[in-house]
Amino acid sequence: MDYEKIIHTIVDPFLINPEALMVREVKGDSDKDLTLLIVAENEDTARLIGKKGNVANALRELIAVAGKNENLRIHLKFESFDEEK
């Protein structure tokens, strides 16, 4: 399953700069663990996390449901970067 495409489909509409969003798959300790590293600009990362982490928790729940089809435990990690101006 293409989890990167799922993430883009869900979050691109409410990001300021969706072209800068990067999603990377990082294998976990076992074959059943997968970590998705989501990297965006500072403002967009704040939008992805949301107040009190509500948006991030909702994204985690959606991705967890998608991962259950393949018996995967999927973890999301958020990071930000600034472009040099």
Q: What secondary structure letter does DSSP report for 62?
A: H
What is Dmax (Cα atoms) for the chain? 43
pTM exceeding 0.75: yes
For residue 80, what are its two tokens?
A: 């930000």
Strand, coil or helix: what is 24?
strand
Confidence of residue 83 (pLDDT cuts 50, 70, 90): low
Q: What secondary structure letter does DSSP report for 72?
A: -
pLDDT score of 84 more than 60: no
For residue 68, what are its two tokens?
A: 């259950």
31-80 pLDDT, tens per residue?
889 999 999 999 999 999 999 999 999 999 999 999 999 999 999 999 99
Q: Domains in the chain and their CATH numbers?
A: 3-81 (3.30.300.20)
